[in-house]
Amino acid sequence: MEETVTQSVTLGFILSGLLCGGFVGLILQRGRFCMNSAFRDTIFIQDYTLFRGFLIALAVMVVGSNLLNDIGLIQLKSQTFYPLANIIGGYLFGMGMVLASGCGSGIVYKGGEGQIAAVIGVIFFFLGIGATNYGILNPLYVALRSVKFEIDGNTNTTLWQLFGDSMSVKWTVIIIFALFLFSLTLKDKPFRMGKQKGFYWSVTGLLLGLAGVLTFWASEHWGGGFARGMNFTTPTGELFFTILTGDAKSRFFPMFDIGPFKATWGEFFLIGVPLGAYISAKILKEFSWKVPSVGELLTVIAGALLMGFSASVAGGCNIGQGLTGSSTLSLGSLTSIIFMILGNWTMVYFKFIKPMQD
């Protein structure tokens, strides 16, 4: 466990977090972008539109974040590869997001649209996080993360390091990877702007990728010198711990003193997301309070608890690992998002496809 640093709060710390989060929330709401839907639709209705938006966002983040890193504006940190944790945690998270009717980012921004189930889902998402990091599920968390994958003593291996560790090898792999992702989007004509109420799918992907790069820079510049980028799992835990105990209990990220409270930049980013979604929904006249049925609510609670546990085990949610972590081309992050997709497809089959076949 790394020792965190406590600093005095600044206006830039608060505003940059809120604005970055608000920008992401607006993009997610305006683009109707939830990665649960993006993964689900590929197998359920053979619609790859949102999934291709995810691919564009990832391609932009891979190129943009590594460019900022290599010119010295940020310092990227790739995640450790925990094979058991990344595989099992990722797979269970994929299943949980189907039950919760939203991914980690989805339930946060949908709360800003007035969806009560999403708001309750965020609360139980935190309970799963807390129980895993500090409570009854912690022994399982520790056991799953006790196995590390190493190459030449390095546990933070990236994709390009499988081929070499020079700058030319790194950027050759990055360019090939990004072009491959973008090539998969061409069938849906990303340059054709469709007429619709919200953002076209490719615009959503482009803006989300740019927001991810911006958030890397802002979190390092104003958030205490750590480029944490977009994430929803850790900030959710930090926010609720600050509210409940006065201390964010951050293991890795710098904390700031706000009166008697200790908070992180990620908490203000998280607060900004539903605010941005709310503003977007009000402008589009899509905001309305939606009360779920009892059955739907119980399913959401179960899914959110599962997501809280599995995201903690996997080292992040669909955004934290699927975009932010994967933009470093960390083997652990790439493994996590692959198994999140597989877990999502598994639950979609049993929850939607199989009942229709029966």
What is the per-residue pLDDT for 166?
95
Q: Is residue 2 part of a domain?
A: no
Residue 342 lies in domain: 8-357
**Nearest 5°: phi and psi at 272?**
-65, -30
What is the per-residue pLDDT for 2?
45
Give the DSSP letter of residue 79. P
Residue 119 structure tokens? 């708001």
What is the per-residue pLDDT for 6?
67
What 3 state SS string does 190-259 have? CCCCCCCCCCCHHHHHHHHHHHHHHHHHHHHHHCCCCCCCCCCHHHHHHHHHHHHHCECCCCCCCEEEEC
* d(C-alpha 220, C-alpha 276), whole Å: 22
What's the number of domains the chain is made of?
Answer: 1
Q: Is residue 229 part of a domain?
A: yes
What 3 state SS string does 159-194 have? CHHHCCCCHHHHHHHHHHHHHHHHHCCHHHCCCCCC
Q: Is residue 181 part of a domain?
A: yes
> Do 181 and 66 form a contact (C-beta atoms < 8 A)?
no
* d(C-alpha 122, C-alpha 105), whole Å: 10
Q: 261: which strand partners?
A: 258
What CA–CA distances, in Å, run from 83 to 145, 150, 344? Answer: 8, 10, 19
* d(C-alpha 236, C-alpha 308), whole Å: 9
Q: In what order do the strands lie in the sheet with 6-8?
A: 6-8, 255-258, 261-263
What is the per-residue pLDDT for 5?
54
Q: Is residue 161 part of a domain?
A: yes
Q: Is residue 190 part of a domain?
A: yes
Q: Is residue 240 part of a domain?
A: yes
Q: Is residue 3 part of a domain?
A: no
- Would you give per-residue pLDDT tens digits along the chain (358 residues)? 444 556 778 899 999 999 999 999 999 999 999 999 999 999 999 999 999 999 999 999 999 999 999 999 999 999 999 999 999 999 999 999 999 999 999 999 999 999 999 999 999 999 999 999 999 999 999 999 999 988 877 889 999 999 998 999 999 999 999 999 999 999 888 988 767 788 999 999 999 999 999 999 999 999 999 999 999 999 999 999 999 999 999 988 999 999 999 999 999 999 999 999 999 999 999 999 999 999 999 999 999 999 999 999 999 999 999 999 999 999 999 999 999 999 999 999 999 999 998 7
What is the per-residue pLDDT for 4?
54
Rounded to two decimals, what is the model's pTM? 0.95
